[in-house]
Amino acid sequence: MKLEEKNRSRTLRCQGYSIKQIAETLKVAKGSVSSWVRDIKIPETLIANIENRKRLGREHSRVARLSNIARRNCEVDAKCREEILPLSERDLWIAGIMLYAGEGYKSARVSGQRIELANSDPDILRVFVNFLEKVCLACKQKIKIRLMLYEDINTEEAKRYWSEQLDIPQDQFCRPFIKQSYKNIPFRHLRRSKYGTVHIILCDVVVYRKIIGWMKAVYEFNKLDFTNLDRGVAQFG
């Protein structure tokens, strides 16, 4: 049997098969194949074919691996949707509070107390707009949008994009802030949004104080330290 496998492996090697391919075809150890065919010199053309097959094999493996990852991710996403949906108004309430805790503007000065949240992710921004409307009962017509754009971003295109994403008309957009693009700095473009950063602004002190109060309540419930936050809202009165 070994002699048959050896002869077969030599034949395959002469045809340009790699040692790994021969071992897999004959279901024998690669070490055995290597010892059987080590004296065979493969023509350059066949060596090129072996390398091409290796690359093709690696590409097939990569595609299969990515396909499996995508399938598993879809399965996880489906399971997560089943677990968390549908959301209640209270779920939106907590989500909005935590978004503001992480991304929102806080001020110790009464004159500076306004709701302002900055982000470049449309999904996060839509959640916060819904929070303002449905939980805080804010009038959507009073919400203002200010864009932070690099100088090489088309302002009108950015305004159209965010107006559609957030369902807020462009006449509620403030004058955008334009900053240097740094487009010639290596890798800087990888960390920037195509349509800039959005600042959602609502000038309503009452709603602002409510949001800060809700944040404090969450922190208290979880026994977190909110000393710094206390200083920021010391003038609530």
User: Range with the lowest mean pLDDT among 86-90, 108-112, 146-150, 184-188?
Assistant: 184-188
Q: Does residue 161 share a domain with residue 49? A: no
In terms of average pLDDT, the best of 7-16, 18-27, 122-131, 217-226 is 122-131
Q: Does residue 93 share a domain with residue 58? A: no
User: What confidence tier does 9 reach under pLDDT thresholds 50, 70, 90?
Assistant: confident
Q: Please give, one letter per residue, the 3-state secondary structure of the chain.
A: CHHHHHHHHHHHHHCCCCHHHHHHHHCCCHHHHHHHHCCCCCCHHHHHHHHHHHHHHHHHHHHHHHHHHHHHHHHHHHHHHHHHCCCCHHHHHHHHHHHHHHHECCCCCHHHCCEEEEECCHHHHHHHHHHHHHHCCCCHHHCEEEEEEECCCCHHHHHHHHHHHHCCCHHHECCCEEECCCCCCCCHHHHCCCCCEEEEEECCHHHHHHHHHHHHHHHHHCCCCCHHHHHHCCCCC
Does the predicted TM-score (pTM) go above 0.75?
A: no
User: What's the domain count of the chain?
Assistant: 2
Q: Does residue 135 share a domain with residue 193? A: yes
Residue 49 lies in a domain: yes
Domain that holds residue 125: 89-232
Residue 237 lies in a domain: no
Residue 150 lies in a domain: yes
pLDDT average, residue stretch 192-214: 92
Q: Does residue 186 share a domain with residue 114? A: yes
